[in-house]
Structure 1
């Protein structure tokens, strides 16, 4: 289990002296996994805990609050993925404008030394920290020599097309509805988490009862119909088809909602916090001439989703753990 800890407190002795991967890691994508995997390897070699130091909220939200940012992995989802990878703890450093004014030396002494008691840092080759980004790789290497911790820098990870894997690339793909390519860059199927809430129950009357979730307002996922898998709070997994959008046939003014129809399932899910894994985009939202046409299309969507999900295979060990 990966525990979530605040960054302004001294770590318990059992976690001090560990290997710490530092970064925002929004998406925990394959590029991030190159850094995270190196940290896990060093920790195993040394026989010490493996930890992650990250920053919440995302710095872009602090410096550009008026610009919506589609966060791929909110804190709970990020911690869940890091736990699956094998980390003992994720330390969430509160990122504020005040924190951003602290010097690079203060970051090293107050955060890395005093609070974390690190033995080894692993981070990307372009990691910068401290006021005006005054701390960089060379500064961190020198600080390690002065304070007695090791530093490992990891080069940028490139995909099969020799392009750098980034969270912004993945956001763009999801905004286009390309769940397949987004999953390829993530190394696992894009996943959202939310509490199942009550709805209008129209789907139930049509023979397609849905589990409804409101996602964060900044979720810039293309609206439409997706083949998905739905994991309940008890761990059980169900193939499903999901609609993300504003339901133009029945509710022109509705707020965006994720509505998931679980195949061969009829239990009550209200109040459960569940995960939805996106495997493929089927079609965009449409406005139909009445409910009969809508139901006919929903049946076609179900058949297409069943066929797609019948042939999927894990993208990685992480994907196998969360979506299979």
Structure 2
């Protein structure tokens, strides 16, 4: 997948692509249906399959990362998209200039004269342009006037008629309901990061952990999770804690993982942590010994949960 950030001087080989447009936070089952349509149409017409997205997320731009919870950071989002059979990812910088463009100016500047698309596919709730004043009717008319193909993909739902949506997934993550979030995503939710030096508290109680600092816009329930950890493409089982370490009066959020049957030094290595299920919420313990006893119970529960997961549901094992 070719990543293109400058669309104003685009090489002609990337012109006339079939594209989807959106924020695509989470890349859930609804997004994947839209992307499959893009890939299918591109293949049928011997075109490149592309996706146009924005960085930062417009809601982060307007409200700041502390006031908006994203499902994926940019690195993880790009990693997921690289597994969707797309040829091109157009990463459009969302800034003041772009936010003030009326719908017709955005269409002409970005889609027609910039990327020079041949076909546009969007979701039924797509909005664009200044103050989200452009809708699918406006986009359909602009596309027709400029001889550009246009399709709308209706909202997708599961067998229980629950619509796939990024907002629902954010709520599930904040609740610790990782199982429902994963069902909506169609893959195990995961995050990526570089292993950093920690406070060595886990090692002191017999459970050494790897520590990762996450993007500040990623928010989910503090507690213990059953996870898979990928190091140099090899999968390990893990018990992951996310929170502020209240037992030690912590103030900063960390992601730390005890990896079963693993004792190598991997500082500065990039790892991927895949969340399979939630075990319990964060708690404060009166002593290291009580925390150690709880960790033993947590690890037993983690291994029980990991016995039943479906490996085919993982993007990272493919």
TM interval, shorter chain, is over 0.9
Written as runs of structure 1 = structure 2, the 5 A alignment for 1:247-258 is 247-249=245-247, 251-258=248-255
Corresponding residue number in structure 2 for 1:152: 151
Shift of residue 67 of structure 1? 6.0
Contact 2:53 2:91 survives alignment (8 Å): yes
Contact 1:10 1:114 survives alignment (8 Å): no
Contact 1:175 1:222 survives alignment (8 Å): yes
CA RMSD in angstroms, aligned pairs only:
1.8
The question of 1:239 aligning with 2:237 is answered yes
Q: Distance in 1 between matches of 2:140 and 2:173?
A: 37
Written as runs of structure 1 = structure 2, the 5 A alignment for 1:104-115 is 104-115=103-114
Q: Distance in 1 between matches of 2:63 and 2:288?
A: 43
Which blocks of at least 5 consecutive residues in structure 1 are unaligned? Answer: none
Written as runs of structure 1 = structure 2, the 5 A alignment for 1:13-92 is 13-65=12-64, 68-92=67-91
The question of 1:275 aligning with 2:269 is answered no
Q: Distance in 2 between matches of 1:223 and 1:101?
A: 38
Q: 1:138 to 1:287 in 2, by over 3 A?
A: closer
Residues paired across the two proteins, number: 318
Shift of residue 66 of structure 1? 8.1
Corresponding residue number in structure 2 for 1:223: 222
Name the TM-score, length of structure 1 as normaliser: 0.92
Shift of residue 257 of structure 1? 0.7
The question of 1:307 aligning with 2:304 is answered yes
Q: Distance in 1 between matches of 2:127 and 2:249?
A: 46
Corresponding residue number in structure 1 for 2:291: 294
Contact 1:3 1:79 survives alignment (8 Å): no
The question of 1:138 aligning with 2:144 is answered no
The question of 1:213 aligning with 2:212 is answered yes
Shift of residue 270 of structure 1? 0.7
Moved more, 267-276 or 130-139: 130-139
How far does the alpha carbon of each residue in 1:255-280 deviate from its partner, in whole angstroms, 9 at most, with x for none?
11111011101111111121111111
Partner of 2:82, secondary structure, is helix
Shift of residue 107 of structure 1? 1.4
Name the TM-score, length of structure 2 as normaliser: 0.94
